[in-house]
Amino acid sequence: MAIGAIGLAVCWATVAAAEQVRVPQTGPVAFIAQLADGWTYVPHDANSGALVSPDTSSVITLAVLPNDPTTAALSDDQLANVLLLRMNAPAFTLKQPATLGGINTYAYSSRMTNSNSVTMNIQTLVIKSIGQYVAIATIMANCSLTTRKTTRSKQ
């Protein structure tokens, strides 16, 4: 299997000396992210971590996990729902084509209220087509931010 990297630009900002993060730090498959000003990286374990916005209103969780027999037996739709349920979010309500690091996949959308009573939009992207690994990116954003952006763009 060829070594692969899944690129991810956070906050679509151009930053001259942005910090680069690799998740996981070692292994043949990884996410490579350039952090925009103010964003931080919080490692969860050897295979996953989170990119957190300066005001903590948005979080991008990245994980590269072994594609074990249990995971391999699930369809992408089933795996997305398992991941959402682990976050205490309901099953996905919308499935849309997406691209992650140049690889075609689907974005599975859901919504949940966190422990601070803030409603969050969630999009989970799953890539199982990279051999022995599964790459997962989950984007969580405060609904008031995404609603404000949508309202502003309609004006």
Q: What is the pLDDT of residue 148?
A: 45
Give the pTM.
Answer: 0.80
Instruction: Write the CATH number for 59.
Output: 3.40.1000.10
The single residue listed with the structure tokens 């072994």 is 66
Q: Into how many domains does the chain fold? A: 1
* Number of DSSP helices (H) and strands (E) in the chain, helices first: 3, 10
Dist CA 26 CA 3 (whole Å): 11
33 domain-assigned: no
60 domain-assigned: yes
87 domain-assigned: yes
Which residues neighbour 87 within 8 Å (Cβ) at sequence distance 6 or greater? 112, 122, 138
4 domain-assigned: no
126 domain-assigned: yes
Give the pLDDT confidence of 43-89 residue by residue, as tens digits. 999 999 999 999 988 999 999 999 999 999 999 999 999 999 998 99
11 domain-assigned: no
Residue 13 has pLDDT above 50, yes or no: no
**Domain housing 116:** 39-154
56 domain-assigned: yes
Choose the weakest-confidence range: 53-62, 89-98, 112-121.
Answer: 112-121
24 domain-assigned: no
